[in-house]
Amino acid sequence: MTVTRFAPSPTGHLHVGNIRTALHNFLLAKQAGGRFLLRIDDTDAARSREEYVVAIHADLAWLGLHAEGEERQSARFDLYEAEFERLQAADRVYPCWETPQELELKRKVLLGRGLPPIYDRAALSLSEDDKAAKLAAGELPHWRFLLDRDEPIDWTDGIRGDQKFDPAMMSDPVIRRADGSWLYMLPSVIDDIAMGVTDILRGEDHVSNTAAQVQMFTALGAGVPRFAHEALLVGTEGKLSKRLGSLGAAHFREAGIEPQALVALLGRLGTSDPVDPALGLADLAAHFDLSRFGRAPARFDEVELERVNAAVVHGMPYAAVADRLPDGMDEAAWDAVRPNLTHVREAADWWQVVTGPVDAPAFSEEDRAYLAQAAEALTDLDWSEGVWKALTEALKASTGRKGKPLFLPLRQALTGMDHGPDMGALLPLIGRQKAAERLLAARG
């Protein structure tokens, strides 16, 4: 069974890049009839906040991304300790005592010589007496994973294709700090093994991490999951944007974006497939295919999101929005105004046009006389769904007006607007009495 996971750190709110990763992992699992899991990577006790965990759950629920299992790294330290001891017994981890300043100096020297700035493994030459002396002096080590440099590291990436790394050109990654706390690399591998994760889909900024983690899976006696690394998001200006890091689910909710719009856009972002506002999670999952993803950066455009949102709103039935509409606004009113909306909340503005009052512009003497005729004609018409057509046909016959001179003064007087919903649907909502009062008020 295909098992994917989304593993956010609760050190802040999810941003649009995180949301895209969660969505694609969900779709990858569902396309194969598999399971989507959530893991809260909260090993950083100093920065992790429970409020962010709550927000992560709320954001995923809003998007419809329901996990079928959840783990928290802060509850799994015993497992990490046991696996660490196993690697220690197999000589695949080793203690190091260099300070950050010493490591930076070594790095600068290597760069100055035109050499790769990788760790020189000096700690491996320390004798047991040297180590004991440091410990006796209260100097605690950080720990590195010992890469096997005899064989190249390779895998077939689901998006990037064949990947190959030379471990001799890589630093042994630090996996544990001197205070005993864990860095990302090893606990993530241990959890992926324990949770049965078969597919890891994440951003291309993790490719070098993957190279080291491939060896960690092997060192722990586990099979290596399938990896895929998708291109990172960029803004419309074509480069990485700090703004993308601030665009979270809360921002989109406050902006009136429907979760369906965000899912429809992000589900296809980075692929060669067109964005279809009508596609929900099930439809996107059915056609989710990593081979459709390109290597070029994926452009996230808020203007396009607004366009998709408008299309989603235009297709939403009354039942889906009834609890978000102003009091008294019924299905006929929703059907009348929704083609003019970008966000559901804008329905309240159009309901105000229906219920009044409205501010009509100043009219010419000729138009005021025309509106007086309209008010008189309105009293003689049968009030029905076809009243707008009946009114305009009667006025066309009696005044000879047509086109804009026929329609625009009526719309302006009845709604205070130059544009808006179809008047054939709007006029019956306004009602005979209000319509007559507005025409007479505009007549002056």
Binding positions for ATP: 242
CB-neighbour burial class of residue 31 (10 A; exposed 0-12, middle 13-18, buried 19+)? middle
CB-neighbour burial class of residue 137 (10 A; exposed 0-12, middle 13-18, buried 19+)? exposed
Cα–Cα distance for residue pair 399/34, rounded to 1 Å: 69
Cα–Cα distance for residue pair 400/239, rounded to 1 Å: 58
Cα–Cα distance for residue pair 172/95, rounded to 1 Å: 11
The closest of 97, 19, 111, 29 to 285, measured between CA atoms, is: 29
- Measured in degrees and rounded to the nearest 5, phi and psi for residue 227 equal -110, 145
Contact 55, 251 (CB under 8 A): no
Termini Cα distance of the chain:
75
Contact 36, 7 (CB under 8 A): no
Contact 269, 298 (CB under 8 A): yes
The closest of 19, 29, 28, 56 to 40, measured between CA atoms, is: 56
Contact 401, 395 (CB under 8 A): yes
Binding-site residue numbers are 242
